[in-house]
Structure 1
Amino acid sequence: MNGFAAGCYEAFGSAIGHHLWYRSLDNTVVQSGEHQAWSIRLGTAFAVLTKTSLVALIRIAAVQQMWATLRRKAMTLGGIDGMFNIMHDPTGIFNKDLLAHAKILTVFAIVFWVFPFVTIIAPATLSVESVPSSSVRLMPVPTVNFTSFEQWCTYEGAGYLLGPGSAISRLFAQVYTSGRITPQDSPFPNATYELQFWGPSYKCDDFADFINTQDRPTWDPENPDSPHQTFRDAFFAERPYATFDETTDGDMWQAAAPDYMNNILLVHTVGDGGKNNIVCQLYNTSYRISVTFNNSVQSIIPLSIQYLEPAAWNHVVGRYVFLANIRPSEYVGYPDKVLPTFHVTHLLLSNLIVTKMTIGASGTLLFSGKPTASLQQSALPFCPDVGTDYFYREYFNDTSACRNGSLVRVIEDLSRNFTLSTLTYEYWGEPTTTVPVTIQFPQNQYSYQQSTLFMVYGVGFAVTFLCMVMDGIAFKRNGTVSGTAFSTVMLTTRNQDFDSVAVGRWLGSAPLSTDIAKVRMRFGYVSDKDGGAHAGFGLDGTVGPIEDDNVR
């Protein structure tokens, strides 16, 4: 019985150890492939130890059940061989005598041979899963520097700013043709960070609202280049069709950027709801944005956009900005905060929208008399407040391209997208700023299926417990602990009848001949020739039941 107790303690201890080991690994990071391999190996060792202990207990119970069966029933010698070998040879389960006369023992044997599957299922309750994880690192990320104008400008003469440079023009063309922010390279495939900076953007209003709330400098009325004293007069002078009750000559779009005004765009359109008069002015703007990369695909969400101050200088001031910096004594009273990059931004927007778009009676679409213009390549003509004519809708019928639903919002959106796209501008000199970057990445982590392990071991212990109950019943019937040792066989086969059966077969060679295999035997009370009796195996018909516990 000491072996029985030791097996119970060993099985229970190894099962608990298996659970505690896997629980200690649950939701922890896989440190390396070698660590993962040894974690599984140790779990497998616990499972093998548990299985070995439980099958040892089942084997003990099976032996007791075998002797109890032999006491109750006569079996052929072949059947008895099967009973002794069934825990060594799984094919013994199919022995006809066992299936007919030793059903409980056969069930024990089936459990014994199926039990090793525990060592397959139990270790697999620890798996490795790829789970999203994140960490925050201080990292340099691209930013902007609108005080730097490298490759922003073309020049005329000794230091005059003539127009936009080719590099920044290409970037602007990417923005207005694609209708989106030019993507930058991601620091990691999945990352998020916030960025703050200042840069240009346009603030647009309906003309009437602009007049009613005008609190920003538009131009200097004393400027000799301006023949107008009020902004209203200037607007209608620049956009004569804006005063007409009906649009003439199929006019759908007129826009201007007067040199004497302070970086202002004037736009007149005819669309849904009638005429639309729009005023847009360039502002220095504060940006706070969230930059996210999802599988290296960029998305930028503005968290805060605040207009700081208007770019209050006209075209002449912007054109002479370099000379004013070189010879400040000759430009006394020159406006502060004049930036070439802001002036070029205004020139880029002006070159895009300043045109006159008309549709003739035959459906001819012209841009200031020409059949094509950059405006066609942008989303601006697709807005519902630009054009209602049948022929116009044939040319620009996809209003979904106007994402914000109105020309005012689209112009603002375009200017902001351009500023945000300059994060990719290659001639900034790689300016960076250090910010906290949240990095998302897949991480291998252990996952422990506790319920599955409990179920596997629970079934194993329950089946073993039932076998132990049957073992207790068999032990009570047997009255002693029996085994399959040679000494047990020798002591229980003291019978002169066996000598005649074994004649010519003293070596016990296998396989057993058919005539011997069919000899029926039973374990019980065997009578001696001298009138005595002893417990042992005997031929069927010569053995009586054991009733005296003293007979051994």
Structure 2
Amino acid sequence: MAGRRTSYPMSSNHYVPMANHNHEASDLQDVIETKDQAKESHYFPKTDHDQETSYTFHAVEMEDQRIKSHDFPKTSHDQDTSYAFHTIEMEDEEKRPYPIRMDSLQSVHTTKSEHSETGRSHSAIRPFDTQEEVLVGNSEPSTHPHDGIFWRSPILMGGNLFIGIIASIAHHVFYRCMVGKQVGDDFSQQWTLRYGTTFAFVSQVCLVSSVGFAYTQWLWKSLYHKDTKISVNCLDAAFVADTSVISILNTEMLWKLKLGSLLAVVAWTLPIGSLLTPGTLYVVPSTKSIHTHANVSSLDMYGPDQPARFTYSAPINATDGIQNELFLGPRTIITRLSTATATQGEILPINAPFSNATYDVQFYGPIVKCKEADSATATIIQSLRDESVANITGSITEVANYYYAFVPNLGSYGNSSLPNNGVTVIPQSRLQQPQNASNELWMGYSRYTRSKSFETENHYTVCTLHNASYNININFEEGIQTVTSKSLSVLNSVPYPDINTPASNSLMVQHAYSAYMWSIADLMVGTMGIFQAAPAATGLPSTYFSEITTQIAHTSLLGSSDLDAFFERKSNDPLGNNNTAVSDQRAQDISLAGNATLEELVEELAWNVTCGFMNSNLLSPPVNTSVLSTTSINIYAYHCSTLLLSYGIAIFVALIANSLGAYAYHINGRSHNKSFSAILAATRDSEFGRLLPGGVRGKIPLPEWVLETQLRFVDVDGGGVDECGMGGKKGGGREFRVVGMRKAYEARRKDDLGAHFRRGDGL
């Protein structure tokens, strides 16, 4: 085909350039040139007018973007009319001159070609400098009946709103169902967050989409029914305001399209709620309790072979063949645990089944109860106390005694013929050997009549071993134990074992109880007093000092308030002074003892020692019992008010926007969108072709004079946007027209066009 030229008769659907009124044009043919990369001007026959009519053809070459203009002789008419033809040439394609109609509006003046079979009427070209009133005609919007609202647009607007509301409700219900549930592993927690984020995303997208539909309808309603000049720059911003946040800053749009701008702002602010709602589900620490059965330590002094773990006893054979057991003292484990408990002032650690657990245990065990001695016993205690002081002779003597405790030998108690009614003192350092003793502890001590009074009185106490029924609750929280007595029933007193009692399990239990009392009494017996040492030489003063000869100094009982008088001696004592200030060490002892009396502290020590035996699995073998196991877990919590408020505001605003959209549908009488075809249908005015030079081709930025050009919807008499006209009136409608800034942008347009030609862009 290259180099060959073929002529075709012009089809009836091509526009033929006409002279002005009643001019009859000769037959025309399209000439197709297939010559590669060539551009030719094509001439048409002249008419028989006095002057030749000038025709202009534009050869457009797609490859190098250049345009040629071809001038033709003009003919004489009442007014000059120019026509533009464009020859479009593409590589390896035919080129054909196509006359491009410069105006979409039909003029009342038409020309008819002699050879035109269709008798088509063609528009006369409107001069660009025509006055605005002539161009736009009636700018007031006409009233047109509805020509039908396309169902898909309003249904999508309402459907998106409905789905957004459902997603919001589902989000609330989902989070409400998660409240109190244990947080699973990483995978489970991630999916929980994903579900919540999905609900928020769907709600956001649907609500914003519904507002977008409403904004589009309201925008067209504002432009179509409002007699307002709007610049191209404002229209650019308005048509992307719901998708480009920067466009909302256009001041002209904010001023001339106030409600539309507000809808655009709503479309941008609605997603804020979706940022808040996923965070309303959060994790808080909690505990999970489970009832289970587990092995726990429980004191056992009655089971087979269990008493032997407490007492050191030796078998003896009586003359009558009956075997007896001789009690010799406590086993070392009893002494060790008792001393450790007394030193720490608390129950030794018990073996825990779980790090967080609560359970109850019941058992029979020993307990020591203390009471104030009667007058007869008090007299015996004081007599033995005085004897103890008097028995210290030599260069060092005891001048004042503040504490005296001992285990009485009551084998001859009640024999009035013997000193102290037959009561004797068991030596302080008891040996593990047969002896007559008792399961009692007698104490005499000097204490303040009232705190810090420096006036003392002698007080006498008797502590006795008893059997008791224990019911205790043991609680472990993160490994820290708390032992609480639920009930303690003190039963019978337990006497010291009799050597003549036949061996039996009950006798061995008595031995075990006595071993327990022995270990506690050993911590208490002894003295505390002021001693005087004779001078080393004549004429030198005597030396006075205090001395503690009891294991109580190794226990928490040393901080008892009953012993304050010893540590804060009266001013008439050789070492005494009136200073009641407490030393730092004494303050620690008082804090450890809780400033309690000796009677209270001895009973507390006995209770702690008994419970402390559960530290040993030998003394307290495991038993299976019900345990409330508590585990630290994380659970979900939910701030429903934040989610409901966020979604409530978003839905309320979206409902208002949809109401405006529905109103716009009713006023417009049709559905609109912002597609290219919709915008193209509203811009049929030929002046848009002259407004935008060919070199623009959709690129940005547009020249400033283009952006400032004022447009407005106006009524037209024919053509319209569609067959029936945009307003629905047969043969008429409304479309955008250029209505402002004629002279200003004309001058700038000429300058820009000259620049385009100099660059070779063409028109």
Q: Which bracket does the TM-score occupy, shorter chain normalised?
A: 0.7 to 0.9
1:171 aligns with 2:337: yes
The answer to whether structure 1 residue 68 and structure 2 residue 189 are counterparts is no
1:341-394 deviation per Cα after TM superposition (whole angstroms, max 9, x unaligned): 222222212322222322136542224xxxx54221224344333463335887
Residues 232 and 101 (structure 1), Cα distance of their counterparts in 2 relative to 1, 3 Å cut: closer
Name the CA distance, whole Å, in 2 between partners of 1:469 and 1:423: 77
Partner of 1:77 in structure 2?
232
- Alpha-carbon spacing, 1:165–1:528, altered in 2? closer, same or farther (3 Å): same
Q: How does 1:42-191 map to 2 (within 5 A)?
A: 42-71=195-224, 72=226, 73-147=228-302, 148-149=306-307, 152=310, 162-191=328-357
- 2:288 is paired with a residue whose SS is strand
Deviation, structure 1 residue 424: 0.1
Separation in 2, partners of 1:59, 1:286: 80
What is the CA distance between 1:419 and its match in structure 2? 0.7
1:344 matches 2:499: no
Which amino acid in 2 is paired with 1:355? G
Deviation sequence 1:241-278 (CA, Å, 0-9, x none): 6999xxx8301122221343531111111222422121
C-alpha displacement at 1:422, in angstroms?
A: 0.5
Equivalents in 2 of 1:305, 1:243: separation in Å? Answer: 39
Does residue 450 of the first structure (1) align with residue 640 of the second (2)? yes
Aligned to 1:228: none
Letter in 2 for 1:257: V
Larger Rg: 2
Range with greater deviation from structure 2 (198-207 or 397-406): 397-406
Please state if 1:483 is matched with 2:636: no
Residue in 1 that maps onto 2:687: 497
2:547 is equivalent to residue 366 of structure 1: yes
Which shifted more, 54-63 or 23-32? Answer: 23-32
1:225-374 maps to which residues of 2 (within 5 A)? 238-240=384-386, 249-259=399-409, 260=411, 261-273=437-449, 274-314=457-497, 317=499, 325=503, 336=507, 338-360=509-531, 363-367=544-548, 372-374=549-551
Q: Partners in 1 of 2:230 and 2:353 — Cα distance?
A: 80
1:164 Cα deviation after fit:
3.5
How many Å separate the matches in 2 of 1:490 and 1:379?
98
* Selected match of 1:539 from 728, 731, 738: 738
Distance 2:312 2:553 in 1: 25
- 1:422-443 residue CA offsets vs partner (Å, 9 max, x unmatched): 1102533x60122222223322
State the distance in 1 between where 2:195 and 2:271 align. Answer: 17
- CA distance 1:102–1:144, shift in 2 (3 Å): same
Deviation at residue 55 of structure 1 after TM alignment: 0.9
**What letter corresponds to residue 201 of structure 1 in structure 2?**
I
How far apart are 1:53 and its partner, in Å? 1.5
The verdict on how the C-alpha distance between 1:109 and 1:363 changes in structure 2, with shifts beyond 3 A counting, is farther
Higher helix share: 1
With over 3 angstroms needed to count, the CA separation of the structure-2 counterparts of 1:33 and 1:401, relative to structure 1, is closer
Do structure 1's residue 407 and structure 2's residue 598 form an aligned pair?
A: yes
After superposition, what is the alpha-carbon deviation per residue over 1:530-551, rounded to whole angstroms, capped at 9, x for unaligned? 9x75311101169xxxxxxxxx
- Do residues 39 (structure 1) and 192 (structure 2) align? yes
Q: Report if aligned partners of 2:330, 2:518 keep a CA contact under 8 Å in 1.
A: yes
Which amino acid in structure 1 is aligned with residue 553 of structure 2? Q
Deviation, structure 1 residue 529: 11
Distance 1:27 1:235 in 2: 65
Measured at CA, do residues 103 and 233 of structure 1 come closer, stay the same or move farther in structure 2, by a change above 3 Å? closer
Q: Which stretches in structure 2 are left out of the alignment for 5+ residues? A: 1-153, 317-324, 391-397, 412-436, 450-456, 533-542, 721-730, 742-763
Amino acid at match of 1:500: R
User: Paired residue for 2:701, among 498, 507, 511?
Assistant: 511
Q: What is the distance in 2 between the residues matched to 1:268 and 1:471?
A: 99
The 2-side partners of 1:286 and 1:467 are apart by 78
Change (3 A) 1:479 1:288: same
Q: Per the alignment, do residues 120 and 363 of structure 1 end up closer, same or farther by CA in structure 2, a change over 3 Å counting?
A: farther
1:232 Cα shift? 8.2
| Paired amino acid for 2:615 | T
Q: Is the 8 A contact 1:239 1:256 kept in 2?
A: no
Question: Within 2, Cα distance between the matches of 1:37 and 1:272?
Answer: 69
Residue of 713, 720, 728 corresponding to 1:523: 713
Aligned 8 A contact 1:183 1:421 in 2? yes
Structure-2 residue corresponding to 1:208 = 374
Tell me the CA shift for residue 182 of structure 1. Answer: 1.2
Is contact 2:310–2:516 with CA below 8 Å preserved after alignment? no
Q: CA deviation at 1:173?
A: 1.5
Q: Give the Cα separation in 1 of the matches to 2:360 and 2:339.
A: 26
Q: Measure the CA separation in 2 of the matches of 1:236 and 1:359.
A: 17
C-alpha change, 1:541 and 1:353, in structure 2 (3 Å) is closer
Return 5+ residue gaps in structure 1 as ranges. Answer: 212-230, 329-333, 543-552
Match of 1:24 among 177, 182, 191: 177
| 1:383 alignment partner, one of 532, 555, 560 | 560
- State the SS of the aligned residue for 2:199: helix
Contact 2:366 2:468 in 1 (8 A): yes
Distance in structure 2 (CA, Å) of the matches to 1:75 and 1:6: 33
Root mean square deviation of aligned Cα: 3.4
Distance 2:552 2:639 in 1: 62
Residues paired across the two proteins, number: 502
- CA 1:383–1:491 in 2, change beyond 3 Å: closer, same or farther? closer
Query: More deviation in 356-365 or 264-273?
Result: 356-365
- The 1:506–1:338 alpha-carbon spacing in structure 2 relative to 1, beyond 3 Å, is closer
Q: Flag the 1:90–1:382 CA change in 2: closer, same or farther, 3 A.
A: closer
Provide the C-alpha distance between the structure 2 equivalents of 1:400 and 1:272, rounded to a whole number of angstroms: 19
SS at match of 1:482: coil
> Contact 2:311–2:515 (CA<8 Å) still a contact in 1?
yes
Distance in 1 between residues matched to 2:714 and 2:685, nearest whole Å: 12
SS at match of 1:385: helix
Q: CA separation in 1, counterparts of 2:719 and 2:185?
A: 76
2:163 equivalent among 3, 7, 10: 10
SS at match of 2:736: strand
Among candidates 638, 659, 664, match of residue 469 of structure 1 = 659
The code of the aligned residue for 1:415 comes to A
Identity value in percent: 24
Distance 2:544 2:162 in 1: 96
- Contact kept in structure 1, 2:399 and 2:531, CA below 8 Å: yes
Instruction: Give distance in 2, aligned partners of 1:233 and 1:82.
Output: 110
1:452 offset after TM fit, Å? Answer: 1.7
Match of 1:420 in 2: 611
Tell me: higher relative CO, structure 1 or 2? Use CA pairs within 8 A at least 6 residues apart. 1
